[in-house]
Structure 1
Amino acid sequence: MPRNEPTQVTDGWDGGRSPGRRKAMRYAVPVAVAGVAAATIGLVPAFAGSGSPDLPKISAQDLIAKVAKSDVQQLSGTVRVSTDLGLPSLPGGAGGFGGAQGGGKGGDGASAAPQNKLMELASGAHTLRVAADGPEKQRVSIVDKAAEYSLVHNGNEVWAYDSGSNTAVHSTAPDAGRHGKQHRAPKDLPGGLKDATPQDLAKQALKAAGDTTSVTVDGTAKVAGRDAYQLLIKPKQAASTVGSIRVAVDAANGVPLKFTLTPKSGGAAAIDVGYTNVDFAKPAASTFAFTPPKGAKVVDGDKARAKTPRDHGKDLPSHKDVKGLKKDMGGLNVLGKGWTSIATIKGGGSGLPSGKDQGAGGDAGKFLDSIGEKVHGSFGSGRVFSTRLVNALITDHGTVYVGAVDKQALIDAANAAK
């Protein structure tokens, strides 16, 4: 049986997508990858194991098609999770419900809010147990040393449970009660919990296949005890901070088993997603059954979501304030294409405080100077805040430029837009 050899994707190959769809995908994917890296998850190395299995030769085009055609809807397994973006560890419980499932005070269920768990997944190492049985049944559990957090979707019911606080939030799934319509996973789940598997991240990255991207098949591997091909995705644009994305694809069914994003700067992976074990048999029905433990505090998520802003306090901005803020920000715009796309938000004329400012503002300015690099250009001046993957330029006029690009690309974009 011949060994698999690297195969280069021809520029512009898109798996049969229309020109309009190709263009949209090429603009969207790098921004999506940056968003995932900056605000959501990375998974710790799913150990590939020893040896490279002998598999039939396959082209990159055929391997991408195999992933696209894969329709596996039943599985269970363990995912190892870790993120190294060069950011400080984020404390658990940061943020709040955002009005979706309750407030954030007084034991009202905030500890069980999916949005809060997203913050925990933004850095460090984690273990997830996942299970799925079609579009109506999914379960994700984050296993910690001292506690476990579970998110369970079963038909028209959604439960979020935090064992640490013994708090559960119960909600009705979208489309519940609509005759003839299939239940779907809740739309308001944060990306870090909804997309916490290799296949979700891989499908986003594969949409980038086009003239800004090199895609090859780079050998084989054993992942979670299964034979897999390794798909290597590399941006061609020099300004991108993404070095490469490697996706291990199950040779039998096309399911991505491992996703690794390495920054151009080198070192450890910024995002590494993989199964340590996986089973494609139908999970037991009991996997998706949930009953709050005795003594648990149960919060009605539907009622909490239905509350008016007045119920949440008087400190929320008024409709007039929000409208004014949107006007000041000038809206979101995307410059460039492919992996060097830069999202911009126009400021309202006042940027971050300077170290030269006096009083409290001066203290804030000195702190910002210590964590952000001062830069200058024909646009004026500002600060660049950097991670291993995503960089952001905030000008002294308050305009924000952010993307998975290097510092000079942000300065060039600001100069061109002045």
Structure 2
Amino acid sequence: MAPYESDDTTTAAGPEEPGTGRRRAARYVVPVTVMGVAAATIGLVPAIADSGDPDLPKITAEQLVQKIAESDVDRLSGTVKITTDLGLPDLGGLEDGIVSGAAGRGEGGSSADPSSKLTELASGTHTLRVATDGPERQKVSLLEDAAEYSLIHNGKDVWGYDSASNEVYHATVDETAGKPEHQPPATPKDFAEEALKSVDDTTSVTVDGTAQVAGRDAYKLVLEPRQSGSTVGAISIAVDHETGMPLKFTLTPASGGAAVVDVGFTKVSFDRPAASTFDFTPPKGAEVTEDGELDHGREHSGKPENAPKSEEDLAKGLDGLKMLGEGWNSVATFDTGGAGLPAGEAGGDLGGFLGSLGDQVKGEFGSGTVFSTRLVNALITEDGKVYVGTVTKDALVKAANQGK
């Protein structure tokens, strides 16, 4: 665990546990869409108070982290507001087709499939209703203007329902396995736990006063990179002083400006939700698609024969992933095995279009294109290597030179 900076507590980082490298990679590696644009990562930043600064007993950073770890809240219901602004380039609506296509919509797909519907959370502002009753029952509802999408886990059944299209998705899971992989991170706790896994000795961890979130008194835990060169500004978690449950987090990049990600409860109750909350029966006339019926492959998609046939194939390719640097300046790199992104005349119209979305760079590694969001930058070289991190463009070029 990284050093904790508070009035009276400091601890040194311990030995790295097995799997820490992969977790660290998960923090920095992001999917690259078919247009070559790096997507998202999650983080937090200090501006989290709803109102007031409650007078709470003094607590150290180490004690507050421990309070989160010991929190045993497994029953709750409430409303969560999520705002995401990664600053992706404007593709004039083309990105909607990219996202739906990458998620497997189209022939053999379903609008109720969680892998397609919940990609909407990657941008804009959304309101979610959430409920949890232990590891076997969860419900997340995405509220839309004139419709609602719900994802329900109740025992062995996972249901997705899109009221706009009256389509239903159904899958079964091991009842003893806890929350299914279909369930997205939907509460501040989900994001806070992932952020805390990434804490190491390159991170400053402090307590920065108190806040009030969803009518509850909370402490503010702040994580900040010790290194320069990261695009991350700071991470702040509002922690309920009674239960240790994270109530809110927000993300602003080091460059400042509006939050990249802001996730927090606007209402929350720790009472047990009614059992009927998790009941679901497909409405009359609804089209029901079983998970095994979905066409997740690309046999008939018209893709090149050497293109990845599924997300599983892409994941296997990431087995060769390597990490360069350390801490917040870590850069993940892997080889796509392809020809990269041709630029200029060699790339034709497609190369010119892709080039317009990024910045052309050169170095000892050769040449490539850097695609940027407000937090994550990705360098794709002409020989098919990818470098991704929450670091500046110059840091990516430096990493590519070192990894040559």
Counterpart contact for 1:44–1:82, Cα < 8 Å: no
Q: Quickly say closer, same or farther: Cα 1:369–1:309, change in 2 above 3 A.
A: closer
Asked if the contact 1:44–1:126 (Cα under 8 Å) also holds between the matched residues in 2, the reply is no
- Note the 1:268-347 alignment, pairs <5 A: 268-301=258-291, 303-304=292-293, 313=300, 331-347=320-336
Other structure's SS at 1:111 match:
coil
Q: Deviations over 1:199-246 (max 9, x none)?
A: 011111112333100010001000000000001100112121101011
| Offset of residue 144 of structure 1 | 0.5
* Alignment partner of 1:20 out of 8, 11, 16: 16
Q: Which residue of 2 aligns with 1:218?
A: 208
Shifted more, 390-399 versus 279-288: the winner is 390-399
- For the Cα contact (< 8 Å) 2:84–2:260, is it kept in 1? yes
Question: For 2:180 and 2:132, how far apart are their aligned partners in 1?
Answer: 14
Larger-gyration structure (1/2): 1
**Using the alignment, how far apart are the partners of 1:212 and 1:10 within structure 2?**
14
Q: 1:220 to 1:412 in 2, by over 3 A?
A: same
Q: Which residue of 1 aligns with 2:223?
A: 233
**2:54 maps to amino acid:** P
Deviations 1:167-186 (A, max 9, x none): 1112212x25xxxxx25222
Question: How far did 1:343 drift?
Answer: 1.2
Q: Is the 8 A contact 1:157 1:172 kept in 2?
A: yes
Change in CA separation of 1:163 and 1:85 when aligned onto 2, cut-off 3 Å:
same
Residues 247 and 257, structure 1, Cα contact 8 Å, conserved in 2:
yes
What residue in structure 2 maps to residue 32 of structure 1? 27
C-alpha spacing 1:394/1:270, structure 2 compared with 1 (3 Å):
same
Whether the 8 Å CA contact 1:150–1:160 is kept in 2: the answer is yes
For 1:20, the aligned partner's letter is: E
Secondary structure of the residue aligned to 2:76 is strand
For 1:44-99, what per-residue CA distance to the aligned partner results, in whole angstroms no more than 9, with x for missing partners?
9997332100000000000000000001000000000110110147538933696x
After the TM superposition, which of the residue ranges 125-134 and 88-97 deviates more from structure 2? 88-97
The normalised TM-score by structure 1 is: 0.83
Which residue does the alignment assign to 1:392? 378
Counterpart CA distance in 2 for 1:92 and 1:111 is: 13
Aligned letter for 1:294? K
Q: Note if contact 2:44-2:235 (Cα within 8 Å) is conserved in structure 1.
A: no
Residue of structure 2 equivalent to 1:165: 165
Distance 1:24 1:295, change over 3 A: closer
Task: Determine if contact 2:377/2:388 at 8 Å carries over to the other structure.
Answer: yes
* 2:244 aligned counterpart, secondary structure: coil
Matches within 5 A, 1:105-184: 105=106, 110-173=110-173, 175-176=174-175, 182-184=176-178
What is the distance in 2 between the residues matched to 1:274 and 1:355? 44
The code of the aligned residue for 2:351 comes to G
8 Å CA contact retained: 2:192, 2:249: yes
Which of these residues, 238, 244, 250, is aligned with residue 248 of structure 1?
238
**Distance (Å, rounded) in 2 between the aligned partners of 1:319 and 1:394:** 18
User: Does residue 343 of structure 2 align to residue 354 of structure 1?
Assistant: yes
Equivalences, count = 388
User: How far did 1:292 drift?
Assistant: 1.6
Unaligned 5+ segments in structure 1 are 177-181
Q: 1:266 to 1:30 in 2, by over 3 A?
A: farther
SS at match of 1:117: helix
Distance 1:235 1:97, change over 3 A: closer
Cα distance change on mapping 1:371 and 1:251 into 2, 3 Å: same
- 1:5-84 alignment, distance < 5 Å: 7=7, 10=10, 12-13=12-13, 19-21=15-17, 25=20, 28-29=23-24, 31-32=26-27, 35=30, 38-39=39-40, 48-84=49-85
1:374 aligned to 2:363?
no
Q: 1:395 to 1:104 in 2, by over 3 A?
A: closer
TM (norm. structure 2) is: 0.85
Equivalent position SS for 1:110: coil
Letter in 1 for 2:340: G
* RMSD of equivalent CA atoms: 3.4
Report sequence identity in percent: 55
2:239 partner amino acid: V
Aligned to 1:94: 99
Give the distance between the partners of 1:112 and 1:250, measured in 2 at CA: 34
Find the aligned partners of 2:349 and 2:326 in 1 and give their Cα distance. 38
Q: Secondary structure at the match of 1:20?
A: coil
Any conservation in 2 of the 1:34–1:404 contact (CA below 8 Å)? no
Instruction: Classify the secondary structure of the residue corresponding to 2:158.
Output: strand
